[in-house]
Amino acid sequence: MDIFPLFNFSSKTKQILKLPRLMVGHLFLLHVIKDTQKLFSYLSKTKEMLPNHYRVVSHLFTLHVNITMEK
């Protein structure tokens, strides 16, 4: 896997959107996964369950992605 596009995408997104690093991570994962409906569906459901714990949501989401990628 060529890592340069990864860092390029991440830094450009952070500059353009001025978002926290975790959000940039999600956007990059979205870029990699290319299944927007599955991604947003999971994120919104998780946010509803844990609305005040965005960091926890991020970790759960990352775990979900890791599991999905392994399949």
Whether the CB-CB separation of 26 and 58 falls below 8 Å is answered with yes
CA 64-35-43 angle, 5° bins: 45
pLDDT tens digits for range 20-50: 555 656 666 666 666 666 666 666 665 665 5
pTM score: 0.27
Q: What percent of the chain is modeled with pLDDT above 70?
A: 1
Paired tokens of 6: 């990864």
